[in-house]
Amino acid sequence: MLSALHSPTAAPGFPGLPPLDARLAGRLWRGSSLSASAAPTLPSGFAALDAELPGDGWPLQAVTELLTPQFGVLEWRLLAPALRRWWCAQALPATTGRRRHTAAPVLRSLLLINPPHAPHLPGLQALGLPPSALIWVDAATPAEALWAAEQAIKSRVAVLAWLPEARPEQIRRLQVSALSSDAPAFLMRPERAGQQSSAAPLRLAVKPGEGWALDVHLLKRRGPAHEGWLTLPAVPGAVEPLLTAARRKPQPAPGPVPSPAPAPASPPLERDHALARTVLHA
């Protein structure tokens, strides 16, 4: 049976079909090599990260977990380039051959479910995400947040959900829903969630690096284990023009402060002896 999978001949009884190797190339992968999934992906905007992601980008038919030490600090700097690309791709008018449709495309929204802070619209707009693209869902309970995330994924809209208390079986349910979606879905989880099993095919640990960089480690992917950390330059677009070249780079750690040289001791003041003073006569 295994030899048939590697046979270069066409499938018996079905003339004209491509060889099995060609038909299954995007669905079979070896555990020692990075998966080349046939599912669509979205470039992350970081070349070094795309080189380590199966399919060269964020998966669009799966949920992706981001594990961070503190919510609301690193997510936008890591995800903004991809989300901006996704939104701009929707805004382009569809084409068929040489004819261009003039009707405006139906733009799908970006749902923010239980973000740790109220969305700052001017800041998000500076990242290339217009306010009209954003919907803020403020769920009262973790159960409501999970329900909102599942319904949004089923509706094929982009999802950023902060789910600190989600259990493995709940993540599995979201992953099953994402299989029929072609929009990115990111779940923000605390660092301690890395000790739990997860059905998400892609899990990343993200922490602040030196200067404006982000340090990223792939905890789980379809392929070999990722060793070490990636350092990604992630200066916000609105901040970059305000920084000098020196400020864009990590600053060297300050060395020990040299102790000041001891001041030379001043010689003791000599007081004249009483017998050596000039005697004034009346």
Q: What is the CATH number of the domain that holds 150?
A: 3.40.50.300
Number of structural domains in the chain: 1
Provide the residue range defining the domain that includes 197: 43-91+105-239
**pLDDT score for 127:** 80
Residue 9 clears pLDDT 80, i.e. is over it: no
Q: Is 61 domain-assigned?
A: yes
Whole-model pTM: value is: 0.71
**pLDDT score for 206:** 96
Mean pLDDT for the stretch of residues 18-43:
61
For 184-240, the pLDDT digits (tens) are 999 999 999 999 999 999 999 999 988 889 999 999 998 888 889 999 998 766 565
**pLDDT score for 214:** 94
Q: Is 271 domain-assigned?
A: no
Rounded to the nearest 5 percent, the helix, strand and coil shares of the chain are 30, 20, 55
Kind of pairing between the strands at 202-208 and 185-190: unpaired
**pLDDT score for 280:** 47
Mean pLDDT for the stretch of residues 43-58:
94
Long-range pairs of 198-201 with CB within 8 A, sequence gap ≥ 24 = 198/65, 198/168, 198/171, 199/168, 199/171, 199/172, 199/175, 200/62, 200/63, 200/64, 200/65, 200/171, 200/175, 201/59, 201/62, 201/175
Quickly list DSSP for 38-64.
SS-EE--S-HHHHTTSGGGSEESSSEE
Mean model confidence pLDDT for the chain: 77
Q: Is 15 domain-assigned?
A: no
**pLDDT score for 132:** 82
Residues 125 and 211: their CA atoms lie apart, in Å, by: 24
Q: What percent of the chain has pLDDT over 90?
A: 46
Residues 231 and 217: their CA atoms lie apart, in Å, by: 9
By the 8 A CB rule, do 146 and 167 touch?
Answer: no
* pLDDT tier, 45 (very low <50, low <70, confident <90, very high otherwise): very high
Q: Is 189 domain-assigned?
A: yes
Which bin fits 261, alpha (ψ -120 to 50), beta or left (φ > 0)? beta
Which residues have a Cβ under 8 Å from the Cβ of 179 and sit 6 or more positions away? Answer: 61, 62
Q: Is 12 domain-assigned?
A: no
Lowest mean pLDDT among 130-139, 172-181, 270-279: 270-279
For 144-172, the pLDDT digits (tens) are 999 999 999 999 999 999 999 999 999 99
Q: Is 141 domain-assigned?
A: yes
**pLDDT score for 99:** 53
Amino acid of residue 253: A
**pLDDT score for 27:** 56
